Structure 1
């Protein structure tokens, strides 16, 4: 066991928070699995539970491998993977398969292992690393808007355009996170205002085009609009079914909850193990459990900021914020949807919800953060050894 901990580098609190979230996730996932098995996903309760365990096991393997890679290599890796990401997004858009419980083409099937993969989440991580690389490269230069269009905004544009038709919420979150990252990287605010304005215009044109040619993207724009309308309208419609059941679950939980595995609304929520798992958690563990979970995500945010500030390079600072902030932001959105503070988005609860791609890409981002933290740890240890010649002599012996 000591040998295992010896090979684990980086921020120990981040490791602890991620491990605790993953361990806790087994309880609500197993509870919701009974409903999934009953409703005919083709597997038993234990099979679903074991699948979640394997997803997390592979996820932690990803964290371990990635955190061992010196983070400076992620600059080149993001550049090399960007064309791959664009190709995968095109394939997904053309022949993607529908996910369980949805009517959108967001997944592609990996033939060798028979696993579906959501390419937009992978594209999210790669794009944020690429943007962090670009902003760190021009940090000490005067940024000209025209010069940034091709290397910065063109890749962002193509990634968003390929994701938008099937997954508006992910595209919107990605755009917001890119804007936040370039702002933190020192991109001029006046140029950002232009980009945001162009983004709004492009989205408007897309919606109008989809309305004019509904066969091109059947149901997608109508789905977005119906979700927004159901969120703003007090009248109860079919679109409100999930959110109403989620609110009932939260109200039923009260302060202390009904107890582990005793949720009743899991039998009515179609996405009880993924999109609306927070409602099941509050029902079973009460507001106390909900606030504790929120505390862990805020603690993760705090450690992400600490790691970014302690990084020895601008790229390290920006890449930690670029891949770390979306994790917490997605968690807050998931919780906000469950309590009807936000329209239904389909975003999962990181490290808690079931689903392989979401877990793996979150773990990939965590691995990158820990890689930056490990480098800082290495520098501090080296400085301490240089201050103590006895340590150097001991190592030589």
Structure 2
């Protein structure tokens, strides 16, 4: 009985698309790292990615089988635990590339800010499901304060891109909870003004809210060619790689920007550039189509959810994957500033893989219980 109901209500297209993206990610990571200068070997990163995909699958199953009503009820506690981990990062985390973003647990590095995204989704679903009317801006204070805590801690690491991901999740869930779009537009405008104000006061040396390299990324976005041998190098090489792939691509392991190491961070932040160069417009379009199907299936799950908690939980998973995908692809083609957000299921990185599968597991959890609670009998 249990097996039949599981097979009936599992969203198999969603799982299939996630599996395809993960497999394509393994191919892209291998191509990007087999000749990595000073690297540990041609199979190190792809093997590690495969192991993390296995861990992600376990997390997906656990997140799907644990009744989402219990997950939402524990949301505030999960977020509190994530906040403690983020504080621990600031206190004892090692400084890597000028930032404290990881906790070292034996042979692995864990990025608590990634795990905090899933906890934030559960906590917001708990909070937002308890209000149906959003009259004025005052009711928005509670969700803004709730999400503001992890955002502030992540900004202190510093990690502007990840902090923006939290805000993207928040806006999607607020809209799903019934907040009018125009109010969200006002909040977004105030947020943009705040970022610009922070850049100005930081540049003038009054208060260091944003680091110099973060401000430089905003400047480079407006004119990357003016900094082609400095801060603009990454995005210029990315656009060259994608453009040179043309329609059919240069073939697997045939991308000059990738294989000759002109393209930076090609297995993490700019893995989509590897796809564009070696698989061409055709391959890049296929990857984007798979993301479209993935996000479409999650929206269907949210629409069919049996209660507000389930709907908000699924929308939170949608917001996480949508924001990461949009920003990663946007920065690879030069349409958005470089923020360092990985591409879900494709970019190399254990914490991101676990987070992506965890969010997907929450959506599947809602799908399994959209008709009649799966494990009530």
| TM-score, normalising length: structure 1 | 0.84
Query: 2:309 matched to 1:315?
Result: yes
Secondary structure of residue in 1 paired with 2:369: helix
> Quick one: which of 341, 347, 358 aligns to 2:341?
347
Deviation of the 1:18 alpha carbon: 0.6
CA RMSD of aligned residues (A): 2.8
> Quick one: which of 23, 38, 41 aligns to 1:40?
38
Deviation of the 1:352 alpha carbon: 0.5
How does 1:76-225 map onto structure 2 within 5 Å?
76-99=73-96, 102-110=97-105, 113-139=106-132, 141=133, 145-146=137-138, 149=141, 151-165=142-156, 166-187=158-179, 192=184, 195-196=187-188, 199=191, 203=195, 206-207=198-199, 210-211=202-203, 221-225=211-215
- Given that 1:301 and 1:325 are in contact with CA atoms closer than 8 Å, whether structure 2 keeps it comes out as no
Query: Please, which moves more after superposition, 207-216 or 331-340?
Result: 207-216
Secondary structure of residue in 2 paired with 1:35: coil
Q: How far apart, CA to CA, are the structure 2 residues paired with 1:320 and 1:209? A: 38
CA gap 1:192/1:49 in 2 versus in 1, 3 angstroms: closer
- CA deviation string 1:19-50 (max 9, x = no partner): 111112111111112133xx224x21222221
Question: 1:261 corresponds to which residue?
Answer: 253
Larger radius of gyration: 1
Q: How far apart, CA to CA, are the structure 2 residues paired with 1:359 and 1:212? A: 39
Q: How far apart, CA to CA, are the structure 2 residues paired with 1:225 and 1:147? A: 32
Secondary structure of residue in 2 paired with 1:269: coil
Q: How far apart, CA to CA, are the structure 2 residues paired with 1:241 and 1:351? A: 26
What number of residue pairs does the alignment pair up? 370
Question: 1:331 corresponds to which residue?
Answer: 325
Q: How far apart, CA to CA, are the structure 2 residues paired with 1:308 and 1:301? A: 11
| TM-score, normalising length: structure 2 | 0.89
Deviation of the 1:176 alpha carbon: 3.0
Q: How far apart, CA to CA, are the structure 1 residues paired with 2:125 and 2:332? A: 32
Deviation of the 1:214 alpha carbon: 8.5
Question: 1:231 corresponds to which residue?
Answer: 221
Q: How far apart, CA to CA, are the structure 2 residues paired with 1:214 and 1:104? A: 21
Secondary structure of residue in 2 paired with 1:72: helix
Deviation of the 1:254 alpha carbon: 1.2
Deviation of the 1:75 alpha carbon: 1.2
- CA deviation string 1:244-288 (max 9, x = no partner): 211221122111111112222122222010111111111111100
Question: 1:388 corresponds to which residue?
Answer: none
- Given that 2:199 and 2:215 are in contact with CA atoms closer than 8 Å, whether structure 1 keeps it comes out as no
CA gap 1:69/1:231 in 2 versus in 1, 3 angstroms: same
Question: 1:245 corresponds to which residue?
Answer: 237
CA gap 1:189/1:26 in 2 versus in 1, 3 angstroms: closer
> Quick one: which of 338, 357, 360 aligns to 2:354?
360
Q: What residue ranges of structure 1 are gaps of 5+ in the alignment?
A: 383-397
Q: How far apart, CA to CA, are the structure 2 residues paired with 1:77 and 1:380? A: 20
Secondary structure of residue in 2 paired with 1:344: coil
Secondary structure of residue in 2 paired with 1:361: helix
